[in-house]
């Protein structure tokens, strides 16, 4: 009898344990919903700081619709063996394209004394008439670096750095000598009809004033003004 009672109790316990494991007493856990952050999209499109930009007006100098320039310049001409002396010249420029131009230059100067003439006292290699220098050149030029120059906050000027090269003649000492000219310059357009020029050039020519024939380099630096027409 006692053994049957034990068997019955074991069956009841087994049934109770099996039913507890099958009873749906656990709550269902749902995955948290992902919230869509609409403010992130709005902040990505809208700037964080609204810029307050005040546009300033810049006045650019206009250039007349003309291809010619004419003007003059003054400076120094260093003729080898004769020192540096003042020079004046006239210039006519024709702009072939926006970057290429051709020009003709005529200039005059007067030679000083050589070191030999200063040391010898009274000896003169050239007369006063022969010391007068006249030269002309026909050059081709190219605007290497065209650009603008800003002056203050509201004004700008057109400018260009250019190179030139050409041939011509130089007359002094009673003879005219074939001359090759190379150099560079800077053009600043001041207004719609006038421009300023700064030029440095080398006049290469053969001379025999001091006896033997030799090639000389004669540097010239000038500052001038031209007008458009």
The domain limits of the chain are 59-228
pLDDT at residue 81, rounded to an integer: 86
What does the pLDDT look like over 158-199, one tens digit per residue? 999 999 999 999 999 889 999 999 999 999 999 889 999 999
pLDDT at residue 27, rounded to an integer: 47
pLDDT at residue 72, rounded to an integer: 97
Token representation of residue 28: 């269902």
Residues of the chain with pLDDT under 70: 1-47, 53, 55-65, 122
Tell me the helices (H) and strands (E) count for the chain, helix number first: 3, 9
Torsion of CA 60, 65, 67, 70, to 10 degrees: -70
- CA geometry: angle at 170 spanning 109 and 129, to 5°? 50
In this structure, which topology does domain 59-228 adopt according to CATH? Answer: Porin (2.40.160)
């Amino acid at each position: 009898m006692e053994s049957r009672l034990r068997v019955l109790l074991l069956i009841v316990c087994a049934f109770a344990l099996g039913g507890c494991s099958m009873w749906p007493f656990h709550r269902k856990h749902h995955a948290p919903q992902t919230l869509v952050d609409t403010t992130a999209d709005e902040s990505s499109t809208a700037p964080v700081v609204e810029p307050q930009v005040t546009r300033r007006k810049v006045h650019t100098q206009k250039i007349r619709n003309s291809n010619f320039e004419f003007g003059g310049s003054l400076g120094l001409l260093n003729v080898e063996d004769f020192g540096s002396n003042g020079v004046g010249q006239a210039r006519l420029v024709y702009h072939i394209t926006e970057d290429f131009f051709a020009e003709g230059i005529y200039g005059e100067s007067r030679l000083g004394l050589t070191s030999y003439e200063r040391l010898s006292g009274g000896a003169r290699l050239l007369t006063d008439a022969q010391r007068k220098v006249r030269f002309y050149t026909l050059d081709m030029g190219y605007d290497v670096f065209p650009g603008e120059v800003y002056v203050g906050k509201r004004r700008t000027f057109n400018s260009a750095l250019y190179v030139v090269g050409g041939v011509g003649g130089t007359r002094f000492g009673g003879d005219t000598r074939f001359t090759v000219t190379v150099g560079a310059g800077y053009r600043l357009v001041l207004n719609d009809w006038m421009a300023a020029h700064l030029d440095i050039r080398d006049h290469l020519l053969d001379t025999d004033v001091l006896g033997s024939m030799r090639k000389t380099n004669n540097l010239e630096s000038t500052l001038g003004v031209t007008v458009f027409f």
